[in-house]
Amino acid sequence: MMATLLFGQGAAEEDGILRFDNEVSAFYDSNIQGNSFGDSDIELAYKPTLNFTRRSGLLGIDARLGGGFGWFLDNSEYDYQDFYSSFLIDYPNEASLPYRLTLGGGYNSTTTLDRYVGDRISSDSANLNAGFRYNVNERWGFSLNSRWSEIAYDDKARYTDQTSWGAGFDFVYIYSDKLEIFAGYGYLETSAISEYQDHTFRVKAVGELTPKLTGTMGLGHQIRESDDFGNTGDPYVNLNLAWAVNERLEVAATGGIGFSTTATGASGKQTNFGLVAAMALGSSLTGSLGVSYNESEYSDFGLDRSDEYLTYQAALAWQLGEAAALTGSLTFEDADSTRDQLVYDRLRAGLSLQMSF
């Protein structure tokens, strides 16, 4: 996690705020493919993003449109031109009303380093989601949600396109105006080489857990069913917490246990935990240190594979006025696997300049 960077509000429109974000970066990467034979290189990148926010009237709107352009000095075959877009609509934009409808989605064309494959892969993805929340009274309510997503890979010979859809519901106990308790069920069906059906039974607390601890704490049980590979049951964990130790120091913790489907269509279970501390070193300088652990296990198609990643991060962010910041970061990753070609060390270090207009 980076220290949060606060930018100016941008040009005000009649019904909203329009902001243009720009990020220019240069990074040394000791292993750009993420495998034991990976090459080192210098990556130069530019990421422009146009953001629109509207909170007046009955509709709340958040929209984003942007791109990512990257160039490698020695491995130009990995140069990329990415595209990002997303939107989120809330109705009504009025907290006093007992109901709320949300609609969101996006389309992205991206090039990423895939840890399972051990290479950089390109794909196009689209997603839609909708939700409905109704408060029956001051203490109780319920919520409904649905989602759909599709991902298509450029290399059809090596990777498997995927389509997912799901729905869920939660009963909501409104403990206070700062804390809510959710209890419910979620269903997700994924079509790849095989068909997977995920069932999640969960309880989660969202909001101010203590006067200085905020975020989400979710626990439960999940089951993945497959006609080809049988059923698997595991705990469900979803943690995203922030602890304001004092005015200068904040500690954040993340964690999760869940199912995933790889680019080749294999089913996996992922376990991840992370801890990061950010401290204000001055009026315009923030430093952060973090560590994270990720484990992935795969058993479909006769696989007996597990991957482990231990990652250390450090960053310094210098605020250059209201609309610009300079960030230096260092990341070291130690990867271990039952596959020899995926055992490697990776160092990534560089600078990025963020500006908003």
- Asked if residue 2 is part of any domain, the answer here is no
Q: Which residue has the tokens 């009963």?
A: 171
- Asked if residue 5 is part of any domain, the answer here is no
Structural domains counted in the chain:
1
Domain that holds residue 29: 11-356
Question: What contacts 283, CB < 8 A, 6 or more positions away?
Answer: none
Beta strands in the chain (DSSP E): 11-12, 17-29, 41-54, 60-72, 80-91, 99-114, 119-135, 140-153, 162-176, 179-191, 195-210, 213-226, 230-244, 249-261, 267-280, 285-298, 305-319, 324-337, 344-356
CA distance between the termini of the chain: 24
- Asked if residue 4 is part of any domain, the answer here is no
Note whether 181 and 173 are within 8 A (CB). yes
Cα–Cα separations (whole angstroms), residue 70 to 24, 44, 110, 151, 223: 10, 6, 11, 22, 39
Beta strands in 245-284 (DSSP E): 249-261, 267-280
Note whether 47 and 27 are within 8 A (CB). no
Question: What contacts 110, CB < 8 A, 6 or more positions away?
Answer: 68, 82, 83, 84, 122, 123, 125
CATH number, position 241: 2.40.160
- Asked if residue 6 is part of any domain, the answer here is no
The total of other beta-carbon atoms located within 10 Å of residue 191's CB is 16
Helix/strand/coil for 340? helix
Which amino acid, residue 339? Answer: R
Note whether 72 and 38 are within 8 A (CB). no
- Asked if residue 243 is part of any domain, the answer here is yes
Closest CA to 150 of 171, 128, 167, 130: 128
Q: What are the pLDDT tens digits along the chain (357 aa)? A: 333 333 334 444 446 799 999 999 999 999 999 999 999 999 999 999 999 999 877 889 999 999 999 999 999 999 999 999 999 999 987 778 899 999 999 999 999 999 999 999 999 999 999 999 999 999 999 999 999 999 999 998 899 999 999 999 999 999 999 999 999 999 999 999 889 999 999 999 999 999 999 999 999 999 999 988 888 999 999 999 999 999 999 999 999 999 999 999 889 999 999 999 999 999 899 999 999 999 999 987 777 899 999 999 999 999 998 899 999 999 999 999 999 999 999 999 999 999 999
